[in-house]
Structure 1
């Protein structure tokens, strides 16, 4: 049986975050070819919103919740992330990977910004039948706030447990978590407390690198290890080789 993995493609990797909804078609195609060449893995793909979603969510203040003045932001933000999702799915299919987009707005609910439900059965059946699900950061209805933004990183931490993924990797535009310009090879809950992590300078309503670390530390507490690496090392991660990045793990590992 192929190894079930979660591969998260950062929004900064597949879009130009300095330009509104600027899709990096070349990068997405290259990553799709990398994925298509591996027959001993089965990937669940999750991607960030990048410049297709963050600016729209910020403009309509969806990071602050929903009221009578910003309801149109649900459609506008979701439309932007769907455009990016379609680009990823189309590139995967062009490379021979049978895949389909799954939209969190349709499948999830949240409470105070955190996922509390995800209808995973369709996802499980897609995997069982050899169809690669492609999910993304999205606007999601929220019991407390009306609506909120759920990041791709939060989807990673939620789904890794739900579908029993064997490996989790996050492809980013940096070689890992950096301290004084050098990659930190391992992060645990204890070591994370002393880290000072700078946030993205571009529009990001989901917490940037700090958000990633927080989500992955929750996974580590459940005994699930994950990796952050530069997108150029995606092939190394897929093959199970050293990727030169950061491993987030539990104190016990």
Structure 2
């Protein structure tokens, strides 16, 4: 059974401070992953992490988003290098706990065409899973026809991987315990119209990937239910529970 778990950038970094890791939160997440993987509770796991204060900071300064690109090499390298640095922090925490994690950098794997359609071959990820590794992908920049490079969000990677790998369980770990209506967790979402009034963009100015509304829209297109939950529920998700909000289209 293939699990896909996305760690939001706001979960593992101090998103309001440029290139600042939240070491305590990352340690807790790595503990939960190690407990599930090393003990054998999860046989196949793909991890994806967002950009947080690493990639988002540079992308915002350069005016690059999922739809607006740049052909400035220095800007592209700054965003990509920041994401590789964060990816290495994640890998290091996992390796310290015995998780056989390997990096996958999307810039070298995918592209968008003139219409913005994403092509992200994941044969290497499938092979890694078959060999017992835990692939760790991340938000990145990606070559885009007529735009130079644009941002590829972790949420987009999750949806692409879920389809390509025929994932049976998908979980997005955010800073909140689920999709919220005021302070209450919405237990289930089946159409975007049901929650459009309560979903805004990200509350962080440097977020270039669309916030919770974009997450929900993408998850509704998946063929399997997905869970949106807070950091304290990572272990519950990996244990087979459905914490937080369950998102699935009809």
1:250 corresponds in structure 2 to 249
Residue 14 in structure 1 maps to residue 5 in structure 2 = no
Q: Distance in 1 between matches of 2:181 and 2:142?
A: 34
- Is 1:65 the counterpart of 2:64? The answer is no
Query: For the structure 1 residues 51 and 131, does the alpha-carbon distance in structure 2 shift closer, same or farther, using more than 3 Å as the test?
Result: same
CA contact (8 A) 1:113 1:150 kept: no
Measured at CA, do residues 172 and 113 of structure 1 come closer, stay the same or move farther in structure 2, by a change above 3 Å? Answer: farther
Taking the aligned partners of 1:172 and 1:161, their CA distance within structure 2 comes to 21
Structure 2 portions without partners, runs of 5+: none
* Displacement of 1:112: 5.4
Structure 1 stretch 234-243 or stretch 47-56: which is displaced more?
234-243
Deviation (angstroms), 1:197: 1.1
1:52 to 45, 54, 57: 54
CA positional deviation for 1:198: 2.4
Tell me whether 1:238 sits opposite 2:241 in the alignment.
Answer: no
Question: Using the alignment, how far apart are the partners of 2:26 and 2:188 within structure 1?
Answer: 28
Deviations 1:119-172 (A, max 9, x none): 211111110000100000001000132211010000011110001111000011
Instruction: Compare the two structures and name the one with the higher strand fraction.
Output: 1
Q: Aligned to 2:102, which of 96, 100, 108?
A: 100
Distance in 1 (CA, whole Å) between partners of 2:245 and 2:170 is: 12
Measure, in 1, the Cα distance between the counterparts of 2:115 and 2:218: 13
Question: CA 1:100/1:113 → structure 2, altered by over 3 Å: closer, same or farther?
Answer: farther
**In the alignment, is the contact (CA less than 8 A) between 2:70 and 2:149 conserved in 1?**
yes
**Scaled by the length of structure 2, what TM-score is found?**
0.92
Give the counterpart of 1:128 among 122, 127, 130.
130
Deviations 1:69-99 (A, max 9, x none): x331110000001110000011111100011
What aligned pairs does 1:132-211 form with structure 2 within 5 A after superposition?
132-189=134-191, 191-192=193-194, 194-202=196-204, 203-211=206-214
**Bigger mean CA deviation after superposition, 228-237 or 22-31:** 22-31
Contact 2:6 2:172 in 1 (8 A): yes
Unaligned runs of 5+ in 1: none
Give the Cα–Cα distance (whole angstroms) in 1 for the partners of residues 32 and 117 of structure 2.
31
Give runs of ≥4 in structure 1 deviating > 4 Å: 112-115
Further displaced range: 112-121 or 89-98 = 112-121
Contact residue 17 and residue 51 of structure 1 kept, 8 A: yes
Return the alpha-carbon distance in structure 1 between the equivalents of residues 192 and 21 of structure 2.
37
Q: Quote how far apart the aligned CAs of 1:115 are.
A: 5.0
* Separation (CA, whole Å) in 2 of partners of 1:204 and 1:102: 22
Q: Take 2:100 and 2:194, find their aligned partners in 1: how far apart are those partners?
A: 38
CA distance in 2, matches of 1:184, 1:167: 19
SS in structure 2 of the partner of residue 16 of structure 1:
coil
Q: TM-score, normalised by structure 1?
A: 0.91
